[in-house]
Amino acid sequence: DEVVTGFRFAYGGAQDLYGVTPDLCTLGKVIGGGFPLAALAGRADIMAHFDKSAVGAERWLMQLGTLSGNPVAAVAGLKTLEILRRDGQYEQLRANGRRVMEMMARALDAEGIAHRIVGDETLFEPVFTATDPRDYRDVQSADAAASARFNAVLRAEGIFKSGGKTYPSLALAEEDFARTEAAITRAAQALTEG
C-alpha cells in the first residue's frame, strides 16, 4: 500500500527506499497532483488479468472507476511527477521535514511536554507520550486530547495539517517556515494552559 508513501519517501516509494518488490502496489494522492486519481501497479503476470486480449474472457478482471481517465487529474499528476524527478527534490523535501520536526521538538521541549516525533522526514507526527512508541497500540494509547488540541491550534493559526500526520511540502518558503514555527510554538504553549 503506497497510497500515502508512494512518491513521498522516494520517487519509487517506500518499496524503493526499503528494497521491497511487491506483487501489487496501490498508489494515490500524489499521483494525481492533489486531484482524485489512484493507480494499481504490479507484476506483469498479475496485471495481465486486466487485459482481456492477454488472458481471455474467462480469466479477465474488469476494472472500473468513477474517475478513470480524468484528464485534469492526469495532467496534474504528470506535472507533479515531473517536478519530483528533478535533481535534489527529495533532499529538499527531507530537509524541509527535518526543519519542521526540529521546530516541533524545540517548542514541545520548551514547554516540558512529553512527546516523541515519530516517522520519516517526509511523513511524521508528534506523539504525546513519555515512552518511545513501538507499535500501533502504543501510539493509540498516547495522549489523544493533547494531539487534538495541538492540531486544532495549528489549524486556527492557518497551518493545515492532517489529524494524523504531518506532510511537509517542497513549496515551503522562509516566510512559511516562520509562520509554521510561530504556530507550533503557540500550539505547544496551549497544551500547558488551563
Whether 174 and 111 share a structural domain? yes
Q: What local confidence, expressed as pLDDT, does residue 120 receive?
A: 93
Range 97-116 average pLDDT:
98
Residue 26 sits in which domain range? 13-85
Cell numbers linked to 165: 500526520
Whether 140 and 104 share a structural domain? yes
Tell me, letter by letter, the H, E, C secondary structure of 108-152.
Answer: HHHCCCCCEEEEECCEEEEECCCCCCCCHHHHHCCCHHHHHHHHH
Cα–Cα distances (Å) from 95 to 3, 99, 168, in that order, read 22, 6, 9
Sequence letter at residue 58: E
Model confidence over 36-48: pLDDT tens digits? 888 899 999 999 9
CA distance 99 to 96: 5
Whether 150 and 121 share a structural domain? yes
Whether 59 and 117 share a structural domain? no
Whether 126 and 157 share a structural domain? yes
Residue at 75 is within a domain = yes
pTM of the model: 0.87
Name the domain boundary from 69, 85, 101.
Answer: 85
Whether 136 and 181 share a structural domain? yes
Confidence of residue 29 (pLDDT cuts 50, 70, 90): confident
CA distance 167 to 162: 8
Give buried/exposed letters for 44-63 (b at 16+ CB in 10 A, else e): eeeebbeeeeeeeeeeeeee
Average pLDDT, the chain: 93
Domain total of the chain: 2
Whether 186 and 100 share a structural domain? yes
End-to-end CA distance of the chain: 41
Among 69-78, 121-130, 167-176, the minimum mean pLDDT is found in 69-78
Name the domain boundary from 44, 61, 85.
Answer: 85
Whether 109 and 183 share a structural domain? yes
**Of 133, 130, 157, nearest in space to 146 by CA:** 130
Name the domain boundary from 41, 62, 85.
Answer: 85
